C-alpha cells in the first residue's frame, strides 16, 4: 500500500459503479472517494459532471469514457481504472493525447469466464431453460424416454473463436468432456499452449467444423457483426452457438432466424448488443439460454479485479509501471482474449 506524508491530502477519485465491499473499503483508505451510490449506468454527461476534480476515475465496461469525458476532466484527471479486460469503451487515442493513463484487469478472470462458457454450452445442449420451466410450472408429468432430448458433448468438435487465456481455459474444460478442440486466431498458438487443438487460419473454414462454436474473441469495431447470416450458414446443421465476448460480434437477426428455423439447435448467450436493451425476440425462444453478462461474476474474481486496479495505481503513485497499465505499444487486453 502506498503511503502519503502526514500533510498530503488523499487524491480525489470517483467510482462510477459499485465494486465489492472489500475493494471499496480499500479504495476509501487510499482516496477521497465519491461513489455512484445507486449503481445505475451513467451517461457520459453524468460521468463528466460527477467526476469533476477527480484524479482517478474508476469505471467499468458499462461507461462510455469518450473524448469529451476525458477532455472535460483533464488536466486534473490522471488515471482511468476500468474493472474490465476490454477497453473499447474508452477513447484510448484521447487518453494518450491528454496523457491520461488507463489501467485494466487482465489475467484474473479467465477461470470465471470459462466456467460461464461451459454453463452456457451445457444449458444450450441439454435444453436447460425448457427443463427448468417444465418443473417450475408444474407441467412435468414424470420421466419419459424421449422427453427433452438434447445433445451430448462427448466426441463433438468445439471451435473456440479467440484462443487467448479465456479461450484456452474453455478448451481445457471442454477436453475433460471428451470434445475435439479446434480454434481460430489471427495467428497459431505456440506449440506448448495449443495442447493438441487444431488451428484454422480462416474463420470460415473453422466454422465448417463447429458442432459447438464458442465466441471468446475481443470486442473491437473490426469484429462487429463478424458472425452474420452467411457465416452462421457455414455451421453444421443443429450446431450450438455460445457467446461470452461482446454482443455486437453476432448479428441478432441472423442468429434469431437460424434458431427459429431450427438451423441451429440452440444458443447460450451471456452478452448482447445494446445491453441491457436486448432484442426482445430472444425472450420468446425456447432454444436459447440467456444470462445477464455474468462472465466474471464471482466474489473471488471481482475482488481480484479490483485489487489489480488498486495495486496498479499504488505502483504508479510509487513511481513504478504496473503490468496492467495500457500504453500505445503494449495492448495486453487483446492478447488476453485473442
End-to-end CA distance of the chain: 32
pLDDT of residue 6: 45
Answer yes or no: 275 catalytic: yes
Query: What pLDDT does 5 receive?
Result: 44
Nearest to 75 by CA among 57, 94, 55: 55
pLDDT tens for 296-315 read 999 999 999 999 999 999 99
Alpha-carbon gap, residue 96 to 204, rounded angstroms: 36
Instruction: Report d(CA 178, CA 334) in Å as an integer.
Output: 29
Mapped onto helix, strand or coil, the DSSP state of residue 32 is strand
Cβ–Cβ under 8 Å, residues 244 and 124: no
Cell of 283: 425472450
Of 275, 281, 332, 335, catalytic: 275
The pLDDT of residue 195 is: 86
Which residues, 6 or more positions from 258, have their beta carbon under 8 angstroms from its beta carbon? Answer: 229, 232, 233, 264
Give the pLDDT of residue 3: 52
- In angstroms, the CA 126 to CA 113 distance is 20
> Which residues of the chain fall below pLDDT 50?
5-7, 329-338
Which of the residues 78, 157, 182, 293 is marked catalytic? Answer: 293
- Check if 6 is active-site: no
What's phi and psi for 253, nearest 5 deg? Answer: -60, -40
β-sheet bridge partners, residue 198:
182
What is the pTM for the complete model shown?
Answer: 0.89
Phi-psi region of 219 (alpha: psi -120 to 50; beta: other; left: phi over 0): beta
Query: What pLDDT, on the 0 to 100 scale, is given for residue 327?
Result: 72
DSSP H helices, 226-289, are: 229-232, 252-260
Given the residues 78, 200, 246, 302, the one annotated as active site: 246
Which 3 state secondary structure label does DSSP give 236?
coil
Alpha carbons 60 and 89: distance in angstroms, whole number: 9
Say whether 130 is catalytic: no
Amino acid at each position: 500500500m502506498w503511503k502519503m506524508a502526514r500533510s498530503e491530502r488523499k487524491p480525489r477519485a470517483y467510482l462510477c459503479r459499485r465494486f465489492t465491499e472489500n475493494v471499496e473499503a480499500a479504495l476509501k483508505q487510499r482516496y477521497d472517494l465519491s461513489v455512484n451510490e445507486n449503481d445505475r449506468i451513467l451517461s457520459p454527461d453524468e460521468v463528466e459532471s460527477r467526476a469533476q476534480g477527480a484524479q482517478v476515475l474508476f469505471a467499468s465496461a458499462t461507461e462510455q469514457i469518450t473524448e469529451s469525458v476525458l477532455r472535460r476532466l483533464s488536466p486534473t484527471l490522471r488515471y482511468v481504472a476500468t474493472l474490465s479486460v476490454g477497453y473499447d469503451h474508452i477513447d484510448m487515442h484521447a487518453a494518450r493525447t491528454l496523457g491520461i493513463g488507463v489501467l485494466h484487469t487482465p489475467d484474473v478472470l479467465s477461470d470465471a469466464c470459462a466456467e460461464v462458457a461451459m454453463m452456457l454450452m451445457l444449458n444450450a445442449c441439454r435444453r436447460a431453460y425448457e427443463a427448468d420451466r417444465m418443473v417450475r410450472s408444474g407441467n412435468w408429468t414424470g420421466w419419459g424416454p424421449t422427453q427433452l432430448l438434447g445433445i451430448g458433448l462427448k466426441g463433438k468438435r468445439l471451435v473456440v473463436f479467440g484462443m487467448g487465456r479465456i479461450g484456452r481455459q474453455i478448451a481445457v474444460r471442454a477436453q475433460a468432456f471428451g470434445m475435439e478442440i479446434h480454434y481460430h486466431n489471427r495467428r497459431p498458438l505456440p506449440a506448448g499452449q495449443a495442447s493438441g487443438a487444431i488451428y484454422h487460419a480462416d474463420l470460415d473454414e473453422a466454422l465448417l467444423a463447429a458442432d459447438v462454436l464458442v465466441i471468446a474473441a475481443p470486442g473491437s469495431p473490426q469484429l462487429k457483426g463478424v458472425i452474420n447470416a452467411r457465416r452462421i450458414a457455414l455451421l453444421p446443421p443443429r450446431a450450438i452457438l455460445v457467446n461470452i465476448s461482446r454482443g455486437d460480434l453476432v448479428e441478432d437477426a441472423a442468429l434469431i432466424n437460424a434458431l427459429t428455423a431450427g438451423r441451429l439447435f440452440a444458443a447460450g448467450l451471456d452478452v448482447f448488443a445494446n445491453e441491457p436493451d436486448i432484442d426482445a425476440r430472444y425472450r420468446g425462444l425456447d432454444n436459447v439460454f440467456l444470462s445477464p453478462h455474468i462472465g466474471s461474476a464471482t466474489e473471488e474474481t471481482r475482488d481480484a479485479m479490483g485489487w489489480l486496479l488498486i495495486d496498479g495505481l499504488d505502483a504508479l503513485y510509487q513511481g513504478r509501471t504496473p503490468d496492467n497499465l495500457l500504453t500505445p505499444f503494449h495492448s495486453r487486453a487483446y492478447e488476453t482474449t485473442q
